[in-house]
Structure 1
Amino acid sequence: MKILYPYQDAFERDLSKRDIAQATRDEYTTTLQDFFHYLENFNPTYQADHRVNQLQTPDVEQYLAMLTNSREIQNQTYNKVLSHLNVYFKFLFSHNWTPYLPTLDLKSKPKAATRPVNFRWVDDLTTWLADDRLHVYTRAAMLLTTKGYPVQVYLKPNFTAQLDTTAWPAAEQQFLTQFRAFLAPLQSRFQCADWFLKQRAAADPHLTLPGLHKYLRPDEAVTNFKLSPTVLYQGYLVNYLRRHPRLTDRDVIAALHLEPDSIDYYRRLAQRAD
């Protein structure tokens, strides 16, 4: 297994001992991978020698500020990311792997008023797939979201390479033909059959979440709605629950792979949706 962040094996063993759902553990991985990827590229403290025990509060603040200002995450997401980092650094501190608790003085943000979730984009998927103003990565992300896959799943290596698309409808097949033509030289260069690949030479050809955001954000000027993978996925879930109001919790879990404690939250969003 490729190590995605410092002390990953030990931290994941610790998480596995707790009563934490696999989906939540995957969220920890996504947060920490993104955090250290950002530090590697933009943080002088970490770039100097890649020593996690040198990280202090300003280093975490820098990352959180980027999430707030560049990715425009909502307070709920901010608090979740901060919680993940807090658990991680407390774990390192408890093992004497860092002398600092850089999240100790960082406060969560107040719960913001719930914004209406855009669920209608799902019904217009065929139109968006045919819109050449949108980058193919944007359209592929939208397509995979409507298949029920969150971003942490479809960006995983080997996931899209093994995806069976033969039963997908004609409009989606038409987009896939265009998409495969775009991907062919990249897949040949990197000898990788996955869908989300970097367009420049790299040891790891797979596009990261920050890399995907670089394609999504400019396309918001075309769609006039947020293209954050998390927001798109919320819209898909709300759309699905609105169209299937009579499904039992068991049916919803089976269809959407949601954690049981998330169902009520998304049902309420679906009920409040215009």
Structure 2
Amino acid sequence: MSKILYPYQDAFERDLDRREIAAATKDEYTATLQDFFHYLEHFNPTYQREHRVNQLQTQDVEQYLAMLIANREIQNQTYNKVLSHLNVYFKFLFSHNWTPYLPTLDLKSKPKQNDRPINYQWVDNLDDWLANPQLHVYTRAAMLLTTKGYPVQVYLKPNFTAHLKTSDWPSNQQAFLTRLRAFLEPLQTRFQCPDWFLKQRAATDPHLTLPGLHKYLRPDEAVTHFSLSPSVLYQGYLVNYLRRHPELSDQAAVAALHLDPGAIDYYRRLARHAD
């Protein structure tokens, strides 16, 4: 018997089957609802008390959606898809009298966003950014690691930067690393942790989270005048790399950038249309 991932899963999936919903779409519903209830279980007092779906109201769904925007930087298209999944689910529960509320009723979808051009030129000016004392060292470290091909979910992992080989990096980057080490020394000593991205206050887990990193990145956007969102920086790096190496085959580019093979066409299109 498969594990139940969210309340009323079996009944809801039977309803999706009755409506001949595609398997891929069913998987999307499962992912959304599993994530939603996992979030409620850990961060929502209403649900934590009794784990009762019939107690959830609009503000509980709003809290989850706000987290997706703030912490995961979802775009409006993803926001609308998640809201649609939740709306279908709660309408199903309401139709069976399993909840007296329809918590998604007053929640509105967001307008379609215009695609913003990705800034890929920041990579070409990395030396200047690393030498700029107006930028926090964590901002500069994030930019540097991005140009090494590491996305944020990799370089924030515990023990990753602690074991990173940097001895062959060029001299200007070594100069920044010297400044970074001076900043980190008291933190690494206090926490007995050799990683780079550490909290500056006492904590059981000293590692900086993605929301914590954003607290350093966002103010520095007033200096750079472009988005310092780690995902946007990484996209800019990928576009820059592909523009500089147009001769690479798809296979070679995927290997060099550690990309999913299915993503290479998308980034090649971005590179072709980048101004």
Question: Could you say which residue in structure 2 is the equivalent of 1:195?
Answer: 196
Question: Could you say which residue in structure 2 is the equivalent of 1:128?
Answer: 129
> Structure 1: which 5+ runs fail to align?
1-6, 8-19, 21-27, 91-98
Instruction: Report the CA distance between 1:36 and its aligned residue.
Output: 4.7
Instruction: Report the CA distance between 1:244 and its aligned residue.
Output: 0.8
Q: Distance in 2 between matches of 1:132 and 1:241?
A: 30
> Structure 2: which 5+ runs fail to align?
6-23, 25-30, 90-97
5 Å-filtered alignment, 1:213-232, equals 213-232=214-233
Matched position secondary structure for 2:145: helix
The amino acid of 1:130's aligned partner reads A
RMSD of aligned alpha carbons: 3.9
What are the Cα deviations for residues 132-177 of structure 1, in whole angstroms up to 9, with x where unaligned? 0000000000000000000000000000001000010001000000
Instruction: Report the CA distance between 1:238 and its aligned residue.
Output: 0.5
Question: Could you say which residue in structure 2 is the equivalent of 1:165?
Answer: 166
5 Å-filtered alignment, 1:173-188, equals 173-188=174-189
What are the Cα deviations for residues 21-73 of structure 1, in whole angstroms up to 9, with x where unaligned? xxxxxxx9xxx6xx959x74xx5546x65969776653342242355479875
Count of matched residue positions in the alignment of Structure 1 and Structure 2: 236
TM-score, structure 1 normalization? 0.72
What are the Cα deviations for residues 77-111 of structure 1, in whole angstroms up to 9, with x where unaligned? 6468x49xx69xx9xxxxxxxx88x9987786565
Matched position secondary structure for 2:269: helix
Matched position secondary structure for 1:238: helix
Q: Aligned pair 1:61/2:65, yes or no? A: no
Matched position secondary structure for 1:178: helix
The amino acid of 2:113's aligned partner reads A
Q: Distance in 1 between matches of 2:170 and 2:50?
A: 47
What are the Cα deviations for residues 113-133 of structure 1, in whole angstroms up to 9, with x where unaligned? 221100000000000000000
Instruction: Report the CA distance between 1:245 and its aligned residue.
Output: 1.1
Question: Could you say which residue in structure 2 is the equivalent of 1:116?
Answer: 117
Question: Could you say which residue in structure 1 is the equivalent of 2:234?
Answer: 233
**Structure of larger gyration radius:** 2
The amino acid of 1:134's aligned partner reads L
Question: Could you say which residue in structure 2 is the equivalent of 1:149?
Answer: 150
Q: Aligned pair 1:249/2:253, yes or no? A: no
The amino acid of 2:171's aligned partner reads A
